[in-house]
A and B are shown apart, each in its own frame.
Chain A
């Protein structure tokens, strides 16, 4: 069932293939990534950042990562609740 879902997601331009999901790590922490099918992204639990997948191509440029706020519902089966709230929480960089 999971395999079929993955294939459907890939054919619809969503998700990435299993081969790629096993190879990739977070570009910043170098820790494993988790595929979140609901938000179509790769999640770095180590540093609470998500990276989007567009047209089957994972976007792992650090600048394009999105911080996941602690109160966002981004558990393993959850989706990112508020992408804008995390930006509001960002202060000026030191």
Chain B
């Protein structure tokens, strides 16, 4: 019970430490949750505008890499407004199930509204859950595939998030994590930085979200490189992990999978 109290909110109006010496990670998580809730109304439009629609291609690639197929139970973490969840829904069909999990209620409400507006019967197989990627509300070895799009970079503990994904994934299944690429090539890194400073932030300013999108640069700087992500996935217990650079090196997709030792 004591450890649970550490996890729960302080009294209303009382901003006191929840995790004791781990105060900073909790406050960061709250700040990020608030950020994604603020950008929710403009998120989809900005994704299209800033990537010139290419994010749709990258997301299709992420879904392909996940190996999701007809009848599967799949999870889309940090689902936001649901782009990947809808693509997964088409893959798994009416006999499959998609869970979209996010910690922003505002993003989930937009995802749910988009679901109501879409007429394809398979979209009824998507269920939305408000949750924390570091504390997944699912049993061990449940999902046939997991995707996470532009979410891994935003969690406060990347290792824990990967550990949770490993826990809830069935043996013989894959995680596909799409995100910005933290490039080790100076030219790619400089190009990425230039684009954020001179295209992303000015466009976001037009939506009143300059500060929120300035966060992008620091979050990429703090993110792990492809090699580091591969290494971390292997340390957590995945049998193999490959990081693919796409979008001219601006984006990257980590594919990690477990071996089904019993049926191999």
Query: A90 contacts which of B5, B20, B130 (Cβ < 8 Å)?
Result: B5
Interface flag for A4 (CB, 8 Å): no
Q: Mark A25-57, 1 if CB is under 8 A from B, else 0.
A: 111101001000000000000011100001111
Q: Cβ of A94 and Cβ of B130 under 8 Å apart?
A: no
**Complex-state Cα separation, A87 to B8, whole angstroms:** 10
Cβ of B185 under 8 Å from chain A: no
Given contacts A49-B4, A90-B5, A93-B17, contact A27 B105 (CB under 8 A): no
Cβ-neighbour of A61 out of B6, B16, B103, B112 (below 8 A) = B103
- Counted as pairs of residues, one from A and one from B, with CB atoms less than 8 Å apart, the total is 98
Chain B 125-143, CB-CB to A under 8 Å as 1, else 0, gives 0011111100111111010
Closest Cβ neighbor of B18 among chain A residues: A93
**B17 contacts across to A, CB distance below 8 A:** 93
The answer to whether A20 has its CB under 8 Å from any CB of chain B is yes
Residues in B neighbouring A24, C-beta threshold 8 A: 129, 137-138
Whether B128 contacts A27 by the Cβ 8 Å rule is no
Bound-state CA distance A30–B138 (Å) is 7
Tell whether A57 pairs with B130 under 8 Å between CB atoms, given A25-B138, A93-B17. Answer: yes
Nearest CB on A from B79, distance (A): 12
Q: Which of B132-185 contact A (CB under 8 A)?
A: 132, 135-140, 142
Q: How far is the CB of A42 from chain B (nearest CB, A)?
A: 9
- CB pair A26–B97 under 8 Å, yes or no, is no
CA gap between A87 and B140 in the complex, in Å: 32
Say yes or no: B8 contacts A47, CB within 8 Å: no
Q: Is the CB–CB distance between A55 and B109 below 8 Å?
A: yes
Please measure, in the bound complex, the distance between the C-alpha atom of A48 and the C-alpha atom of B4, giving whole angstroms.
10
Asked whether A67 and B137 contact (CB < 8 A) given A19-B97, A23-B99, the answer is no
Find chain B residues with CB under 8 A from A8 CB: none
Task: Please report B residues at the A interface, Cβ cutoff 8 Å.
Answer: 1-2, 4-9, 11, 16-18, 20, 26, 97, 99, 103, 105, 108-109, 112, 127-132, 135-140, 142
